[in-house]
Amino acid sequence: MVASTSVDWSDPVAPTAGILYPGHSAEDDYPELEAAFGDGTRLAVVHTEMREDAHRVDALLEVGGREVLAEGVRRLPPVEAVIWACTSGSFVFGYDGAAEQVAKLRAVAGVPASSTSFAFLRAAEHLGVRRVAVAATYPADVAGLFAEFLRAGGVRVLRCASRGIVTAAEVGTLTDEQVCEFAAANDHESAEAVLLPDTALHTVGVLEELERRLGKPVLTANQVSAWEVLRLAGDGRSRDGFGTLFRSSHGG
């Protein structure tokens, strides 16, 4: 699993965290979280270049390219940490390539950095989750690459379902009910959590409903991205209303 970082949570402050988000689809999940926190925490979203909206390996490698992310960093306000809020644009490089991507992002930003793919691993580790089901909106080949990434990080994937959607734009139009139905239909009885890996998917407003229906933790891309970047920024406070992950305190 991913090594944890030692942070002193005894005196939390309201940080400003940088969100590098490709294109436009479900980026409004972040201001929704920011407003719901209501404590001065800022999730500063910068849209990075996405020349082609396609969940296809060649297009995703370009979306997550070094210069694309570096240009996004240059447009961020001063932040305590930054995250590349794109799951497919990180795991598509493979585990080692995604780690190199984060290392380069950290070097450019000069602050702690991560990506959504590693946020999933850290969230699973934090919750003690080792067996998962994946409900991915991606085409099957891309969903399979996410499963491979998770396995490389020490997580056992019991089920990996694909909805077969090619564009982020289409993913962003799925309704709350469609999201809940898709997650519930692709659970596995032995999975300790269900993962929804696409940051193009609106999930912040249905996190509690997802967990109520499934009866277990549900980890979604925008949720784990916000949690991870706040953790890196030194904010480990537990927060109600955003699923088991946010309710669980980092301290203690």
Report CA dihedral (196, 62, 51, 137) to the nearest 10 degrees.
-20
73 and 48 Cβ atoms separated by less than 8 Å: no
Res 181: pLDDT: 97
Q: CB of 195 within 8 A of CB of 120?
A: yes
Q: Please give the full DSSP string across 77-119, using - where no structure is assigned.
A: -S-SEEEE--SHHHHTTHHHHHHHHHHHHHHHHSS-EEEHHHH
3 state DSSP class of 214:
helix
Mean residue pLDDT across the chain: 91
DSSP state letter for 26: S
Mind listing the pLDDT tens digit for each residue in 85-99?
A: 999 999 999 999 999
d(CA 154, CA 122): 11
Euclidean distance between CA atoms 218 and 183, whole angstroms: 9
Q: What's the DSSP call for residue 204?
A: G
What pLDDT does 169 receive? 87
Residue 208 tokens read as 């509690």
> Rounded to whole angstroms, how far apart are CA atoms 213 and 136?
18
With contact defined as beta carbons under 8 Å apart, do 166 and 139 qualify? Answer: yes
CA distances from 133 to 10, 57, 180, 197, 214 (A): 34, 22, 14, 11, 11
- Res 2: pLDDT: 43
Question: In angstroms, how far is CA 24 from the centroid of its own chain?
Answer: 16
Q: Give tens-digit pLDDT for 149-171.
A: 999 999 999 999 999 998 888 89
Closest CA to 245 of 98, 83, 120: 120
199-238 tens-digit pLDDT:
999 999 999 999 999 999 999 999 999 999 999 999 988 9
Q: What is the pTM of this model?
A: 0.92
Give the domains, in start order, of the chain with CATH numbers.
16-118+222-247 (3.40.50), 120-220 (3.40.50.12500)
pLDDT at 251: 41
**Is pLDDT above 80 for 7?**
no
